[in-house]
Structure 1
Amino acid sequence: MLTLLFKNFIRSKGTKIGLIFLLIICFISLLIGQQFQQKQQNNIQEAALYQKEHIARNAAFHKDEMGLLLYYIKFSLVNKTLPLNSLAIGQRDVNPSIQSVTIRALEGQKYDAELNNPNNLLSGNIDFSFVLIYLFPLLIIAFSYNLVSEEKESGTWKIVATQSQNTFLYILKLFYIRILSLVLLLTIVLFIAVLFLSIPFNTSLFIFYTIGILYVLFWFAVCFFIVSLQKHSNFNAVILLTIWLFLIIILPATINTYIVTKFPVPEALELTVKQRNAYHEKWDMDKKITMDKFYHHYPQFAHYPLPNTEFSWLWYYAMQQAGDDDSAKQSQELESKLQQRNAASQFIGQFIPTLHAQMQLNEIAKADLGNQLLFLKKTKQFHEKMRLYFYPKIFDNAKVEKENWSKFKVETFSDASEINFLKAFLPLLLFNLILIGLGWRNFKRNLF
């Protein structure tokens, strides 16, 4: 019986077109992922080469003053891109994966990003996570919306009911065949992705694959519940597409609007302007006020006296530090609001399967807002480390040629955040069980 049902299913022209179309879109998404991966690798290689040449060129040109040289030199920090990121690009297409900073005021540099076509950013990337979240459900709906209703409308359901010893088991077999087809397609695509994108077999890939399966099962569970209502095919199709539209587009957009309104974030441009104004106004202030603030922030440098000259690098970098200090409140507020947004999104997403799946895929690929916030925090630590290393050399008027500039390589930040299995799997699993239970109850009422 099962073999016959599978042959009838796979022989359908609509089934073949749907599966082939989805497979082609999946391959396109893998190509887009490969392009993104290659772009990231090229950017990292170019950043390493640029930093080496940039430091050597400036060290040769500005060899008389350490302070002047450090005004120009940039040091780069890379947010490590996992191969799995090719499947779920997430926020990596809008947030920079490389931060190049000088030891001057940080707040004006933290939010620099690559120049991108805004139209491309608006449309986004058709990565595999997009195909899984948006397109797989449409094919599932197309395969499942008329499983029982079509038989009833064509008048063959009574024949099926009389010939089948267990009608409910027959319906389960119909769903099983379709579930097997989509899970097999998902497995094939991810296996190809492992080979094509050099994705390692590890825990992250296992969680990614499991969430993908649970998400596919969720949409089959939705279809199972709707089919169990024993309504007309047209009703099933309309209600399922309405559910898809609501869960995929309307509800996430509504939640995003709520979070943006609930946690208004001060513009990064406003923060940059605040920092620059705080720095520029120090040119017209008493130098002692600036130096007192600097010595209070860095008591270890209090033994460096301010030279009795109109300009000194000690005073200049003290002004730069004052710019960061004066904008620290706005900076902390921005970071706090972004953390609140991320926490609110994670909490609400637990109750919306589509949103939860998307956020978990991004989190596994280290392409979510949480990863970006950790990267910004690491950038601040990296910037502070470079400051503390070079400040004594600047204040002591160290010789430029005595510094080993070749040792300053591009550094890499690796997000060591661990994935919570319970948090990743439980919401989807619960929704699946609830919908299957409700569907089973409806079938029990109508069939037995």
Structure 2
Amino acid sequence: MSPVVLAVGTIGHGELSSDQFREASRCSTCHGIIHSQWDGSMHSNAYIDPFYQKELQVASEDTEGSIDEFCLRCHTPIGVTSGEAPGGELSEVSREGVQCDICHSVSGNAGIGSASAPFILSPGNVQRGPLKESKSTYHETRYSKLHTKSEFCGMCHYVNNSNGVLVDDTYKVWKNSSYSAEGTQCQDCHMSPGVTSFESNPGRSASGAPKRDHISLHYFEGANAFVTDILDEETHRRRAIERLKKAAAMNIKSPSNASENEYVGLEVLVTNSGAGHKIPTGVSEIRQMWLEVSVTDDNGKQIYHAGNIDKQGDIKPGIQVFNTVLGDGNGNPTMKFWNAESILSDDRIPPKETVVQKHNFSIPEGVEYPVYVNVKLQYRSAPQDVIDDLFGKGTHEVPVINMAEKSSRINDPDAPPGEPSMPGFGANILILMFSVLIIVHYRKYR
């Protein structure tokens, strides 16, 4: 891995001092609500994130330390620009990751994609932000148009490794999407209550400040329900799950009737309906999004099952995983983005696009109709074996999030018209329910 390349104007290693930045607790005195939203977010945990720390350790060993600054620039920007990282003892303010003063000291950028984290910093008494005509008795304020644009986020969410491979294309995909053309910015979805589109959040930015039609939320939730879980950040874990559940829509195309021994074709349509970037995004070589398809008869007997997880926590082979596969110098798949020299495949779903996955099975003899088809769009932040390798087997179980779910029913074509059927209940269950009703009725009126 070659040394970090910086664009002209970008603040480099050791050019500043950590004591030029305020700790986040200082900001909480006046900005209590905003601070409480940030506290516990992946931005606040960007440096101490245990998964990141484990990955950084492996990457550093693989590259003899040459990748360290490259990664740390986004995970502890104060640590790098102050010269405390890599290799030194980090001050408390540097350990706060992407915190208040680092973002509100950004006075420009040297060009998205031009270099690693091309932020221009002007720390001091001036705090820059998206609000016009904002006044403070504690510090100077200045309106910054950059803070309202996706280019602000793109400084760390557009990443090329030293081999020129785009390993995080979040900003680029948004830039080429209809969301960008319509003027929808990253902040409109990730800093408002709307989750998938802008929705105003009336309130005050600080105690004593005037009430405004919109104050940006600072939860910065993405899709990380894993790290927020192991750090016991319940609010941010819950918000990540909520965001995942609003990212995609799903439909099933299956026959309404099928006879015994008949071969059945099933189509599942998945649409990226709520994200201005591909799903999944970020370090997408380790993300896993896939379909779990289950077909059972009326007695619960399994007819077909794909995309289920085995006892070791692995997705059973044969199912398409919607993610990126990176290739190393020999063209072999690798999950180490720092070693990637190519992108072997990219099966993620672009904004507002739909993909179709096909499944086939046959209706067995003696099946108890109706037959039920259940499809879940599943997601997890990383494969279980990757987490086991990093932390030790049994240390952490990666949660699987159900992003969307659809069901359909296949009936017996020879059944008499209008024959009643209750989804998911066989004859024995119906008899049991009827017996319970008789007992309740008897006790009530005896």
Do the two structures share a fold, i.e. TM-score over 0.5? Answer: no
Normalising by structure 1, we get a TM-score of 0.25
Q: Name the structure with the higher helix share.
A: 1
Normalising by structure 2, we get a TM-score of 0.25
Q: Greater relative contact order: 1 or 2 (C-alpha under 8 angstroms, separation 6 or more)?
A: 1
